[in-house]
Amino acid sequence: MSFEIKIWGCRGSIPVSSPDHLKFGGSTACIEININGNVVIIDAGSGIRELGTELLKRGTRTAHLLLSHGHYDHIMGLPFFYPVYKADMQLHLWSGHTNCNPCTHDIISDFMREPYLPVSLDIMQANMNFYDVKEGAEIDLGNGITAVSCATNHPGGCFAWRVTDGKQSFVYWSDHEHGNDEVDARLTQFATGADVLIYDAMYTDDEYPSKKKGFGHSTWRKGCEFAQKAGVKQLLLFHHAPERTDNQLEAIEAMAHKIFAGASAARDGQIIKLD
């Protein structure tokens, strides 16, 4: 039995590349959860390109892709996820944050068209199955793996996801603005007891109230608070602001670690093995 999580992209908003972004990486949101060889992907940010290359190498021909929402930083990598051009690939895509307005298929097809992109969904030869899910409905991803969603507080809607094999569990709680007590409590409950929690830690305490309130994101300190309340084992700070340098992230990581011992800042390429 193995339960492995790999970070393929942990940046928020837009991919970045500079000498100040080498340690934590510059690709946008993409996480792979590999449970006994079964691949569940959360979000298709720019980091999914490299994951696609890796899946082709491994010979993986089936994957589930859970979308938190349709903002560019979470879907922009999909046209560059090369398995979608392979006729023997099965890709199951799930979302539900819009309540089917638009549905999952249209979220993707609307962004993949001229004049924004030269390729459309029709060119993708993979067998792509689109599903629309209701918040809180448990979905069966096969081989004993299930996923369930919980709505976050984010412009246009967004889902947090909890993926489990019945033993280990992983919670992806990104693109969320704290401050609505009821929503925060529901999500804390949702994350309870997770082995690993990924949280939207885009801002610092200084930035948030003065400039960023209402933008739909949170702070690393709130992440520590929720992680403690939810009794999770590990917290990964995620959705790093594009301008956040490696040095700043290391400083944030050190401060977060003092508040919550299981806290660290996510970095591209990082692998977490649960047993």
Residues that bind Zn ion (CB under 5 A): 12, 71, 73, 175
Instruction: Count Cβ atoms within 10 A of the Cβ of residue 4 and give its class: 0-12 exposed, 13-18 middle, 19 or more buried.
Output: middle
Residue nearest to Zn ion (CB): 71
Closer CB to Zn ion, residue 71 or residue 240? 71
Q: How far is the CB of 13 from Zn ion (least distance, A)?
A: 6
Closer CB to Zn ion, residue 29 or residue 263? 29
Tokens at 33, concatenated: 């959860």
Q: How far is the CB of 217 from Zn ion (least distance, A)?
A: 8
Closer CB to Zn ion, residue 60 or residue 97? 97
Q: How far is the CB of 9 from Zn ion (least distance, A)?
A: 10
Q: How far is the CB of 68 from Zn ion (least distance, A)?
A: 8
Q: How far is the CB of 226 from Zn ion (least distance, A)?
A: 18
Closer CB to Zn ion, residue 12 or residue 96? 12
Q: 268 and 26 in contact (C-beta within 8 Å)?
A: yes
> Over the range 64-97, which residues count as b (16 or more CB within 10 Å of their CB) and which as e?
bbbbbbbbebbbbbbbebbbbebeebebbbbbbb
CA pair distance 61, 212, nearest whole angstrom: 41
At 172 the three-state DSSP class reads: strand
CA pair distance 93, 121, nearest whole angstrom: 13
Tokens at 86, concatenated: 């392979």
DSSP string, 83-131: GGG-TT-EEEEEE-TTSSTT-HHHHHHHHSSTTT-S--GGG--SEEEEE
Closer CB to Zn ion, residue 3 or residue 94? 94
Closer CB to Zn ion, residue 3 or residue 161? 161
Q: How far is the CB of 175 from Zn ion (least distance, A)?
A: 4
Closer CB to Zn ion, residue 73 or residue 177? 73
Q: 194 and 236 in contact (C-beta within 8 Å)?
A: no
Q: How far is the CB of 122 from Zn ion (least distance, A)?
A: 27
Count of positions (residues) in the chain: 275
- Listed in sequence order, the DSSP H helices in the chain are 48-58, 72-75, 104-111, 181-191, 207, 220-230, 246-259
